[in-house]
Amino acid sequence: MNDVLNEVSHKTEEHEFYNPIPEGYHIGKTKFIIVSGTVMSGLGKGIFAASLAKLFQLKGLKVTCMKFDGYLNQDAGTLNPFRHGEVFVLDDGTESDMDLGTYERFLNQNITKHNYLTGGKLFHRILSRERKGNYLGRDVQFIPHVTGEIKRFVRDLALTSKADVVFVEIGGTVGDIENNYFIEAMRELTYEEGRDNVCQVALTYVLSPKFLGEQKSKAAQLGLRLLMANGIQPDVIACRCDFPVSEKIREKISLSANVPFERVISVHDSDSIYLIPDLLEKSRIDEQIIDLLGLRYKIKNDYVARDRWNNYIQKIIAPKNEITVAITGKYTSLRDSYASILKALEHAGTHEGVHIKIKWVDTTELNEDEVVEELKEVQGIIVPGAFGSRGSEGKINCIKYARENKLPYLGLCYGFQMAVIEFARNVCGLTYANSTEIDPETPHPVIDILPEQKDIHSLGGNMRLGGYDVEIKPETKAFQLYGSLMVRERFRHRWECNPKHLELLERHGLIFSGKAPGREIMQILELKNHPFFIGTQMHPEYISRPMDPHPLYLGFVRSIILKN
């Protein structure tokens, strides 16, 4: 099949194939595991894919994961967290879906823009190629051109990553108009690569209505039938449910979808997503897929990595004392808006042997009097990233409480900026200090737009984005935590501490312990004589890993433990 595809991809006459095969690509060298969803979105396809990939990684296989999102945005940068959850930023500056953060955390590897494809990005590539005449005068159609470009993207990743297995997550649910062409592309990929080289996994949902008191599989069966009607025959079905899916339900689904019973597995809720690999391993689904794809000969178990992973799992399930941390923001009604923060806290808490309970504090209408009541029983406070003015005064009130009451504080991006404003107002005496994002006419613009942003008026992808070096000041709390004078962090911001006010802020006791090398862009602030008061322009949660918690989150959690 590879020879046929290579031949037709270089012919100029009309034919029905459009299969742009990357130079050096060979069918069978890389295997593919495609993860689709039925019944409803948000079931955890990314967690499933990352968990299975982790098991393959522990067996010595080289793996990578990619995601397709059907929306027509070119990336996730302008998406409202209420609609789509957190925007996760890759080191190369790509603003992506939160599932890419899940991949990075599970696999402990940085991934790139080549692991993320949206409908907007796809069609931009296709229209650019059309304008350059790359389609040889053909009318550009969904089949074969759109599906062909999707397969090009997937195969490019396989080639450049040199992975033994590429996991492909299809966002959304079968039946969605915006992902049906991607499902079709994966059908074609299976046809072209051969059944021995592609494993189709369907994640479905088993209903468990409380008023019935039993599990129901009909919605799952109908969703799977729709997937099969689109030409996808699942090899594996993963059943999501609150509790273990019964054998009876699995039997019904097995019979309905032509999938062997032992490959219809229960993926029920767990106390931590990091327990899912163990759940999958107990079902032996990893071993079954390895045999389906003929990968047995490549297995070289990494016992050191497995022992390290197992030690982390034991820490998760060990009994723990509890501490309470307040997350004060304006997206608190959707927990996925702060997914990476929650994971970074879990990493640090597990490492330190404590369970972290979250108290969600909506700052939208929070006045100074209400802050005392909201924060009186918490042991630490985080002010997360955000944009816009809504909720800003509530955050400033929370920061003032944390500073004056010696409550451990970690400010992230916007939390750094609000800390500067609070200090300028209440310590430096600049009563009307503010950010020009919030009040363009403020007489004391202690937070102002970055110089390189002043002539940019569009929103998509124009911030200080991705990985940058940070110069750490010696003999500071930041240096104590990092143990290094230069670190790399990830950023997503347009506004900065105004250099014109640095001298005043520092004279009154604010310490800028991290900055951009060679530039007066302040990136970390801290206070002396406080258990823990640190604000950062970067997002340290993006690079926290289960077995390597971020130093700032570790320091934050440790300060709470010591104080209590």
| Residue 205: per-residue pLDDT | 96
Packed helices 339-352 and 99-107: angle between N→C axes, nearest 10 degrees: 30
432 vs 443: CA distance, rounded Å: 7
Annotated domain spans of the chain: 22-310, 322-563
Q: Which residues are catalytic?
A: 413, 539, 541
3-state DSSP percent of the chain in helix, strand and coil, to 5: 45, 20, 35
Are the C-beta atoms of 223 and 204 separated by less than 8 Å?
Answer: yes
Q: What are the backbone angles phi and psi of residue 290, rounded to the nearest 5°?
A: -60, -40
Q: What is the DSSP code (8-state) at residue 52?
A: H
Say which CATH class 22-310 falls into.
alpha beta
Phi-psi region of 450 (alpha: psi -120 to 50; beta: other; left: phi over 0): beta
Are the C-beta atoms of 144 and 18 separated by less than 8 Å?
Answer: yes
Where do runs of H (alpha helix) occur along 318-455? 339-352, 368-375, 392-404, 414-426
Give me the tens of pLDDT residue by residue for the chain, a chain 564 residues long. Answer: 555 555 444 454 567 778 788 999 999 999 999 999 999 988 899 999 999 999 999 999 999 999 999 999 999 888 877 677 789 999 999 999 999 999 999 999 999 999 999 999 999 999 999 999 888 778 899 999 999 999 999 999 999 999 999 999 999 999 999 999 999 999 999 999 999 999 999 999 999 888 888 999 999 999 999 999 999 999 999 999 999 999 999 999 999 999 999 999 999 999 999 999 999 999 999 999 999 999 999 999 889 999 999 999 999 999 889 999 999 987 766 677 899 999 999 999 999 999 999 999 988 888 888 999 999 999 999 999 877 778 789 999 999 999 999 999 999 999 999 999 999 999 999 999 999 999 999 999 999 987 665 655 555 556 789 999 999 999 999 999 999 999 999 999 889 999 999 999 999 999 999 999 999 899 999 999 999 999 999 999 999 999 999 999 999 999 999 987
Q: Which stretch of DSSP H or E encloses residue 107?
A: helix 99-107
Find out if CATH 3.40.50.880 is the number for domain 322-563: yes
Same fold, 22-310 and 322-563: yes
E strand map for 174-219: 198-205
| Residue 12: per-residue pLDDT | 46
Long-range contact set of residues 247-256: C-beta below 8 Å, sequence gap at least 24: 249/206, 249/215, 249/216, 249/217, 252/217, 252/221, 253/204, 253/217, 253/220, 253/221, 253/224, 256/217, 256/221, 256/224, 256/225
Are the C-beta atoms of 330 and 364 separated by less than 8 Å?
Answer: yes
| Residue 171: per-residue pLDDT | 94
pTM: 0.93
| Residue 453: per-residue pLDDT | 58
Q: What is the DSSP code (8-state) at residue 445?
A: E
Task: Give the burial class of 504: count Cβ atoms within 10 A of its Cβ; 0-12 exposed, 13-18 middle, 19 or more buried.
Answer: middle
360 vs 402: CA distance, rounded Å: 16
| Residue 176: per-residue pLDDT | 92
Q: Which residues pair with 534 in a beta bridge?
A: 410, 526
